[in-house]
Amino acid sequence: MSLQLQAPCSIEMVVKRSRFVAHASPVSDEAETLACFERVAVPAANHNCWAWRVNGRHRFNDDGEPGGTAGRPILAVLEGRDLDGVMVVVTRYFGGIKLGVGGLVRAYGGAAAQCLDQGRFKEKIIWRRCEIVADFALAGPLHQLMEQEGARKLGETFTEQGVRLDLKVPQGRIEPLRIAINELSRGEARLWLSR
């Protein structure tokens, strides 16, 4: 299960006279990543490099640093810590000494890691919409299974064939719920992922 940053955090560090300022913020979608960047990036700085992961998707940017030396190392920290819903922006003020490819990778990745070391995290639950179609007689036991697996009912419809339950399920509980429904109904009820 992924972790999510609870509140913004930041650090500052100096590497061979270049100053690196890292900001990490919780974000829930791409629009928030843009707002976060606009809030913390410094146009007068030499580089504002960044990476984010939101709902399993990711992007990064080197902002003029040699390809793969800034955004990718920041993203590697996010991936290595299994963080989701997080954006990190590292601003560099050039100090006159070139760091080389390895030095840049270490500086940007290190700034991101040190910044995130200051953060507080919580588990992020990734929800998936699902649908269960079953006979009327299974409605009560299905509600019990849903509760046991942490599913939340979004809607319930009755048809001539039975009951249709619209629900959201924590991603890691879909397969256990599917197996339990199959055992309960002897293969008659089905769980489908909604689009």
For 183-195, how does the pLDDT look when each residue is reduced to its tens digit (9 = 90+)? 888 888 888 887 6
- Two structure tokens written together for 93: 């003020």
Q: Based on the number of CB atoms within 10 Å of its own CB, is 185 exposed (0-12), middle (13-18) or buried (19 or more)?
A: middle
Same domain, 142 and 111: no
Query: pTM (2 decimals)?
Result: 0.70
CA dihedral 71, 72, 74, 76 (to 10 degrees): 160
Same domain, 101 and 7: yes
Domain count, the chain: 2
| Residue 51 pLDDT exceeds 70 | yes
Residue corresponding to tokens 């650090």:
11
CATH of the domain at 174: 3.30.70.240
Q: Give the domain extent around 170.
A: 127-193
pLDDT at 71: 96
Residue 194's alpha-carbon distances to 33, 87, 145, 147, 185, in angstroms, are 27, 29, 19, 19, 21
Residues 88-103 have pLDDT tens digits of 999 999 999 999 999 9
